[in-house]
């Protein structure tokens, strides 16, 4: 697969983009405007320059073209006048709508999902992320194969042409189905390996950083776990799960996981493809929900993140709310209100290193809530588990008997349960008593 690299990464060619948004009856205009601002940011991340924006108020959508016929003509005129390369719609478009719009406007038409997929394609670094993105793109493109402009702009590349877009037009749907199947198999294999790796990490508490894209998750990871995660003031800097050892206090070694950020209207195909990456989040013991408190729409961001967590089945996990970038928060009233409303939230500045000790203390407090004491009888041939227990939990008492080592241990309930399982897997006769 030949990828056309031509955007911010090389600075070679910046496409001109026209943005289109719709305010439906009952919707708040400011909310649509904020969403369009975000679309502009997405366009910028994808390497385009926004030259104009068109906003239409409608009582209902036009099924054929989303916006009204008159508005379509206005968009076509503006696109021509501004020598626009691509028209970006904030709403998701059906394959038929894209086809109709492209016929009228005579430019590439891409919707929000298509744009996000394109950014992911340009940013995927690991083999797994590349497969996940390609799979999501193919599934997205599959019903949209009739694009007229593809023949024209294929050689030039541009938004919507990264990833599999360039090569797949000439191949038929059967080929795409075959490719999808192969990618799904590849992904399954990688997931298998991931599962093995995950199993090896059993016995450690896992804490996941989640949040809206650009909230500062990777920056927090860097200060908390002394990592060197990639940080950038653009959307979707991180696409993979990075895992680092994180010592919360002297007794507690945990794992901190940094992963892909969320956004409103995250394409469903992407969530599906990234499920294995996001599973690290679903399977962790605690979440740190990082919020960019300096962003004017942070309330909406909180809602969007909660939506995705719900979709992943992780909404009821223990979660600490972390308001980040407080170095930019000058509004004392807002600060006081957030403190009251979201208590016991933690306020941090990953950039200035503020609040990280408070955050660690809050993590300890929450972990303590699920601490238990257990007595383990560990057969001598499983001495490895004794060492592991010393490392992962607090050993209160040790007694050596003929058959086994008897340890009284204090630790997180989940961790102790995992040890219990490890012990049972290794030796069916082993057991423990609850203390
Ligand atoms: N002023 C300020 N900027 C911050 C702070 N934390 C992070 N940033 C900046 O915010 C931008 C995004 O930070 P990242 O750590 O990449 O954010 P992320 O949540 O990992 O973003 P994605 O990986 O794209 O989802 C970068 O430019 C950081 O330097 C902070 O506490 N204060
Ligand atoms: Mg990141």
First to last CA, the chain: 59
| Cα 269-271-276 angle, rounded to 5 deg | 120
Query: Residue 49, SS3?
Result: strand
For 18, 50, 147, 355, the CA distances from 102, given in Å and listed in that order, are 13, 19, 8, 51
CA–CA separation, 241 and 310 (whole Å): 19
Q: Is the CB of 71 under 6 A from ligand 1?
A: no
pLDDT for 154: 46
Domains in the chain, CATH or no CATH each? 15-167 (3.40.50.11060), 201-368 (3.40.50.300), 371-434 (3.30.70)
- Give mean pLDDT, residues 380-393: 85
CA–CA separation, 76 and 100 (whole Å): 12
- Does the pLDDT of residue 372 top 50, yes or no? yes
Quick one: DSSP state of residue 369?
T
Convert the pLDDT of each residue in 239-294 to its tens digit.
777 888 898 887 778 889 998 889 888 877 788 777 777 877 888 889 999 999 99
Please give the share of the chain, as a percent, with pLDDT higher than 90.
42
Q: Is the CB of 261 under 6 A from ligand 1?
A: yes
For 160-194, give one letter per residue: b (16+ CB within 10 A) or e: bbbbbbbebeeeeeeebeebeeebeebbeebbeeb
pLDDT for 7: 41
Q: How far apart are the CA of 232 and the centre of ligand 1, in A?
A: 6
Q: Is the CB of 61 under 6 A from ligand 1?
A: no
pLDDT for 67: 94
Pocket test for ligand 1, best of 216, 236, 274, 324 (most atoms within 8 A of CB): 216
Question: Which atom in ligand 1 lies closest to the alpha carbon of residue 354?
Answer: 31
Q: What is the pTM of this model?
A: 0.79
Question: Contact at 8 Å (CB) between 379 and 430?
Answer: yes
Candidate from 3-7, 38-42, 353-357, 392-396 with smallest mean pLDDT:
3-7
pLDDT for 237: 79
Q: How far apart are the CA of 108 and the centre of ligand 2, in A?
A: 30
Question: If you count them, how many residues does the chain have?
Answer: 435
Residue 210 φ/ψ, nearest 5 degrees: -125, 165
pLDDT for 346: 97
Q: How far apart are the CA of 215 and the centre of ligand 1, in A?
A: 5
Q: What is the mean pLDDT of the chain?
A: 84
| pLDDT band of 106, cuts 50, 70, 90 | very high
CA–CA separation, 69 and 256 (whole Å): 52
Q: How far apart are the CA of 73 and the centre of ligand 2, in A?
A: 40
Pocket test for ligand 1, best of 212, 214, 353 (most atoms within 8 A of CB): 214
- Give mean pLDDT, residues 320-346: 95
- The total of other beta-carbon atoms located within 10 Å of residue 31's CB is 13
What is the secondary structure of 207-258 as a DSSP string?
EEEEEBTTSSHHHHHHHHH-------SSTT---S-EEEEEEEETTEEEEEEE
Residue 377, beta-bridge partner list: 406
- Helices marked H in 15-124 — which ranges? 29-45, 69-81, 95-105, 112-123
Q: How far apart are the CA of 329 and the centre of ligand 1, in A?
A: 15
Convert the pLDDT of each residue in 196-240 to its tens digit.
776 666 667 889 999 999 999 999 999 999 877 778 777 887 777
Peptide bond connecting 344 to the previous residue in cis, omega within 30 degrees of 0: yes
| pLDDT band of 174, cuts 50, 70, 90 | confident
Q: Is the CB of 238 under 6 A from ligand 1?
A: yes
Residues 6+ apart with CB under 8 A from 78: 18, 52, 54, 84
Query: Residue 307, SS3?
Result: helix
- Does the pLDDT of residue 171 top 60, yes or no? no
- Does the pLDDT of residue 47 top 70, yes or no? yes
Candidate from 43-57, 142-156, 374-388 with smallest mean pLDDT:
142-156
Ligand nearest to the CA of 347: 1
Candidate from 27-31, 121-125, 180-184, 377-381 with smallest mean pLDDT:
121-125
**Positive or negative torsion for Cα 102, 106, 112, 116:** positive
Helix (H) or strand (E) holding 150: helix 149-153
Residue 231 φ/ψ, nearest 5 degrees: -120, 135
């Amino acid at each position: 697969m030949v990828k056309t690299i031509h955007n911010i990464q090389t600075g070679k060619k910046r496409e001109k983009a026209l943005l289109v948004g719709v305010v439906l009856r009952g919707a708040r205009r400011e909310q649509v405007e904020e969403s369009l601002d975000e679309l502009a940011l997405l366009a910028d991340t994808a390497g385009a320059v926004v030259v104009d924006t068109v906003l239409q108020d409608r009582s209902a959508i036009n099924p054929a073209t989303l916006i009204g016929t008159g508005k379509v003509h206005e968009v076509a005129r503006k696109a021509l006048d501004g020598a626009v390369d691509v028209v970006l719609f904030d709403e998701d478009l059906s394959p038929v709508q894209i086809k109709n719009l492209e016929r009228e406007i005579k430019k590439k038409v891409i919707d929000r999902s298509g744009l996000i997929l394109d950014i992911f394609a340009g940013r995927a670094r690991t083999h797994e992320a590349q497969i996940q993105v390609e799979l999501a793109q193919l599934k997205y493109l599959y019903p949209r194969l009739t694009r007229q402009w593809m023949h024209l702009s294929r050689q030039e590349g541009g938004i919507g042409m990264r990833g599999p877009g360039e090569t797949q037009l000439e191949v038929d749907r059967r080929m795409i189905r075959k490719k999808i199947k192969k990618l799904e198999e590849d992904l399954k294999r990688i997931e298998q390996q991931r599962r093995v790796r995950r199993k090896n990490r059993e016995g450690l508490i896992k804490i996941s950083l989640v949040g809206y894209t650009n909230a500062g998750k990777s920056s927090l990871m860097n200060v908390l776990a002394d990592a060197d995660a990639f940080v950038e003031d653009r959307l979707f800097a991180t696409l993979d799960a990075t895992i680092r050892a994180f010592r919360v206090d002297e007794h507690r070694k945990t794992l901190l996981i940094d992963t892909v950020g969320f956004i409103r209207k995250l394409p469903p195909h992407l969530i599906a493809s990234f499920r294995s990456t996001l599973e690290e989040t679903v399977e962790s013991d605690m979440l740190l929900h990082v919020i960019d408190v300096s962003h004017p729409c942070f309330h909406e961001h909180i809602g969007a993140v909660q939506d995705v967590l719900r979709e992943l089945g992780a909404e009821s996990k223990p979660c600490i709310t972390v308001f980040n970038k407080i170095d930019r928060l000058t509004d004392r009233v807002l600060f006081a209100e957030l403190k009251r409303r979201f208590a016991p939230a933690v306020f941090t500045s990953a950039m200035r290193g503020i609040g990280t000790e408070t955050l660690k203390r809050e993590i300890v407090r929450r972990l303590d809530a699920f601490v238990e004491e257990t007595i383990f009888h560990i057969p001598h041939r499983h001495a490895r588990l004794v060492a592991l227990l010393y490392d992962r939990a607090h050993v209160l008492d040790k007694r050596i008997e003929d058959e086994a080592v008897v340890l009284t241990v204090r630790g997180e309930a989940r961790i102790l349960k995992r040890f219990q399982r490890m012990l049972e897997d290794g030796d069916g006769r082993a057991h423990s008593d609850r203390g």
